[in-house]
C-alpha cells in the first residue's frame, strides 16, 4: 500500500464569492443579493497573503463557488487566478468556477479561458422552461443552451448542475435534459434531488399553496431514472450526485471526499487540514460579508479539531461518497494515526449485508473483514448504485459507530 504523507495529499484552494443577483426560492447557501462590492478582490488578496501558510504549495486545484462567481468580471477573476498562482498552482491544475447562464456570452467565455480557467460548472438546473419557472430561475432554456455553447466553444471543460425531483416535472424531463446537455458537449453532470430547506422562501410558497409539496417516492424515482439513463450518454456515476465522462470528474470535489487539504477564502468559506498527529482540523470563516470585509485577515472564524477516532469515522463516511475510489479504512486509519474500531467494521458489514456497500478484499488478507471476521480488513469499500440512494443513512451509521471504550 502506497501511503501518501499528510503534506503531500491533494491540496486545493476554494474561494467563496457571496453575491447573487436575486434569491432562488430553494437556496440556503450563504450569499448577499446585489453586485459584488468594490474592493472584494483586494480583500481576498489580503486574506490569501495572511493565510497562505496554512497550505503546502503548490495546489492542484482552485475552485470559485458561491454565490455567483461569474458576477465578478473577467478582469477581477483573472486577478484572483494570478494571485493564487503566485503562491503556487501546478501547471496542469484544475482552475474552476461556478457560473450562471445569464452572465455568459462569448466574450466572457473566452475571457475565462484567457484568464487561466480550465473548467466551468453551470448552474443550469434544467433545460425545461416549466421546471425553471417552478424553481424561480432567471434564465430560460434558450439562455441556458447559449451559455453551454459559448463555454464549450471557448475550450472549457463544462459541467452542469441539475435539480431533479421537482413536483410536476414530466417523467421524461430527465431524459431530455441529459440528451441536450451531452449533445452540447457537457462532460460532467451533478444531479441534486430538490430538498426543501428550512428558512427558504420555498417553504413559504408551499405553505401558501403556491408550490406543490415534493413527493418522496417521485423524487426517488427521478433519481433512479437518472442513474439508469446517464450511462447511455457516456456519463458514469462517480459520486452520490455526480456523473462524468471518464477523465472529466471534478478533481476539486474529489479532494473533499478523499481527505485532501483545502484553504477556504472569503466569507463563509470552510478550510480543512489533517495534522501530522492524525487530527482533522476545520475552519469556518464568518458568513458575514461586512465583518469579513472590515478585516479579512482577522475576521471571526470557528475552529474545530476532531480526535483521531472521530477523524477516521468522518473520513470513511465522506470517502464512501466517491463510488469509484471508495475507501480503504485501514489506510485511512494510518493517516489519522489510529485503528479501525469494531463498531466501524460492524457498520460497514451491516451496509454490505443490505447491498449498500461492496468490498474488494485484498487477496493477502484472507476471506474475512475486521475483528470477529477472520482478521484485519484490507481492501476498498464502495457504495453500490443502490447504496448511493441511501448514502446519508450509511454515513450516519458510520459516524455514529463509536466503540464503548472509544
Binding footprint of ligand SF4 on the chain (CB under 6 A): 20, 23-24, 27, 29, 31, 66-68, 100, 123
Q: Which one, 24 or 222, has the nearer CB to ligand SF4?
A: 24
Residues 6+ apart with CB under 8 A from 344: 312, 313, 316, 329, 398, 401
* C-beta separation of 206 from 158 below 8 A: no
Q: Which one, 20 or 174, has the nearer CB to ligand SF4?
A: 20
Beta strands in 286-385 (DSSP E): 301-306, 357-360, 380-383
Q: Which one, 28 or 360, has the nearer CB to ligand SF4?
A: 28
Bridge partners of 378, per DSSP, are: none
Residues 6+ apart with CB under 8 A from 237: 227, 230, 243, 323, 385, 388
Q: Which one, 123 or 144, has the nearer CB to ligand SF4?
A: 123
Q: Which one, 61 or 70, has the nearer CB to ligand SF4?
A: 70
Q: How far is the CB of 123 from ligand SF4 (least distance, A)?
A: 5
Q: How far apart are CA 38 and CA 261, in angstroms?
A: 30
* Coil, strand or helix at 317: helix
Q: Which one, 27 or 203, has the nearer CB to ligand SF4?
A: 27
Q: How far is the CB of 319 from ligand SF4 (least distance, A)?
A: 27
Q: How far is the CB of 128 from ligand SF4 (least distance, A)?
A: 17
Distance from the Cα of residue 385 to its chain's centroid = 19
* C-beta separation of 184 from 156 below 8 A: no
Q: How far apart are CA 112 and CA 33, in angstroms?
A: 23
Q: How far is the CB of 187 from ligand SF4 (least distance, A)?
A: 21
Q: Which residue from 65, 69, 74, 50 is spatially nearest to 12, judged by alpha carbons? A: 65
Q: How far is the CB of 19 from ligand SF4 (least distance, A)?
A: 8
Q: How far is the CB of 66 from ligand SF4 (least distance, A)?
A: 5
Amino acid at each position: 500500500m502506497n501511503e501518501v504523507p499528510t503534506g503531500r495529499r491533494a491540496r486545493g484552494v476554494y474561494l467563496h464569492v457571496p453575491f447573487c443577483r436575486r434569491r432562488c426560492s430553494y437556496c440556503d447557501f450563504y450569499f448577499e443579493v446585489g453586485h459584488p462590492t468594490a474592493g472584494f478582490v483586494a480583500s481576498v488578496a489580503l486574506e490569501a497573503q495572511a493565510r497562505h501558510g496554512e497550505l503546502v504549495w503548490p495546489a492542484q486545484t482552485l475552485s470559485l463557488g458561491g454565490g455567483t462567481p461569474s458576477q465578478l468580471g473577467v478582469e477581477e477573476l483573472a486577478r484572483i487566478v494570478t494571485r493564487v498562482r503566485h503562491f503556487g498552482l501546478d501547471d496542469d491544475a484544475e482552475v474552476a468556477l461556478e457560473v450562471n447562464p445569464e452572465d455568459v456570452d462569448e466574450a466572457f467565455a473566452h475571457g475565462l479561458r484567457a484568464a487561466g480557467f480550465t473548467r466551468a460548472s453551470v448552474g443550469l438546473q434544467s433545460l425545461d422552461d416549466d421546471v425553471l419557472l417552478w424553481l424561480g430561475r432567471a434564465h430560460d432554456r434558450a439562455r441556458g443552451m447559449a451559455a453551454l455553447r459559448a463555454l464549450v466553444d471557448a475550450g472549457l471543460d463544462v459541467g452542469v448542475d441539475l435539480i431533479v425531483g421537482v413536483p410536476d416535472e414530466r417523467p421524461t424531463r430527465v431524459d431530455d435534459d441529459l440528451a441536450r446537455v451531452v449533445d452540447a458537449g457537457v462532460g460532467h453532470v451533478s444531479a441534486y434531488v430538490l430538498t426543501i430547506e428550512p428558512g427558504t422562501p420555498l417553504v413559504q410558497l408551499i405553505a401558501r399553496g403556491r408550490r406543490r409539496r415534493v413527493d418522496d417516492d417521485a423524487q426517488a424515482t427521478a433519481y433512479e431514472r437518472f442513474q439508469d439513463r446517464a450511462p447511455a450518454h457516456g456519463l458514469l456515476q462517480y459520486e452520490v450526485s455526480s456523473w462524468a465522462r471518464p477523465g472529466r470528474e471534478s478533481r476539486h470535489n474529489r479532494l473533499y471526499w478523499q481527505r485532501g487539504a483545502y484553504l477556504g477564502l472569503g466569507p463563509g468559506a470552510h478550510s480543512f487540514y489533517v495534522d501530522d498527529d492524525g487530527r482533522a482540523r476545520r475552519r469556518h470563516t464568518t458568513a458575514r460579508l461586512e465583518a469579513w470585509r472590515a478585516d479579512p485577515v482577522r475576521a471571526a472564524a470557528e475552529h474545530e479539531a476532531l480526535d483521531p477516532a472521530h477523524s477516521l469515522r468522518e473520513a470513511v463516511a465522506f470517502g464512501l461518497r466517491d463510488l469509484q475510489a471508495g475507501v480503504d479504512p485501514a489506510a485511512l486509519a494510518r493517516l489519522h494515526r489510529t485503528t479501525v474500531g469494531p463498531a466501524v467494521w460492524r457498520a460497514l458489514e451491516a451496509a454490505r449485508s443490505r447491498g449498500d456497500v461492496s468490498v474488494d478484499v485484498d487477496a493477502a488478507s484472507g476471506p474475512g473483514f475486521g475483528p470477529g471476521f477472520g482478521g484485519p480488513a484490507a481492501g476498498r469499500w464502495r457504495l453500490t448504485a443502490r447504496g448511493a440512494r441511501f448514502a446519508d443513512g450509511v454515513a450516519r451509521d458510520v459516524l455514529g459507530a463509536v466503540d464503548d471504550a472509544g
